Amino acid sequence: MIIYGVALLSICTLLGVLIGDLLGAAIGVKANVGGVGFAMILLLFASEHLKNSGRFVQQSSQGVAFWTAMYIPIVVAMAAQQNVLGAIKGGPMAIIAGILATVVCFALIPVIDRIGRSEHLREEQKLAHKSQG
């Protein structure tokens, strides 16, 4: 059902915001640091895990797809609320946090690619096994 996809997205969003708030508090910034990004990473891993276990059907992914289309406007609206100039004037911590988040994201690209390739390989093996049997 579509509502399960929306529920998964909501849970990931709440956890992402919580992680972003905790990270902001840990580094001394009075703001959410990367909450939306953490939410998207959680959604990616959670949906892939559920798909691999067979508990995330096509209809559920429609709920996620709907909100994925809304992702860019939401991020633009959230970014409009950020005071970038104030963060830069506030000290190097905001710049370091941004650079660190970017480096971590770049470092995770091969990991995510490897996960996608292994899933594709498993699907090919299943198809080959079905055609032989």
| Whole-number pLDDT of residue 104 | 93
What is the pLDDT confidence band of residue 127, given thresholds at 50, 70 and 90? confident
The tokens 């798909």 sit on which residue? 51
The single residue listed with the structure tokens 């299943």 is: 126
Q: Please state, in angstroms and rounded to a whole number, the distance separating the CA atoms of residues 61 and 31.
A: 31
pLDDT, one tens digit per residue, over 4-55 is: 777 888 898 899 999 999 999 999 888 888 888 888 888 888 888 888 888 7
DSSP symbols for 54-120: T-S-HHHHHHHHHHHHTHHHHHHHHHHHS-HHHHHHT-HHHHHHHHHHHHHHHHHHHHHHHHHHHHH
Domain ranges within the chain, ordered by starting residue: 2-132
**Higher pLDDT, residue 18 or 72:** 18
Band of the pLDDT at 68, cuts 50, 70, 90? Answer: low
Interval 67-86 mean pLDDT = 67
Give the N- to C-terminal CA distance of the chain in Å, as an integer. 32
What is the structure's pLDDT at 62?
73
Kindly report the number of other CB atoms within 10 A of residue 42's CB atom.
19
Name the nearest CA neighbour of 19 among 8, 31, 34, 7. 34
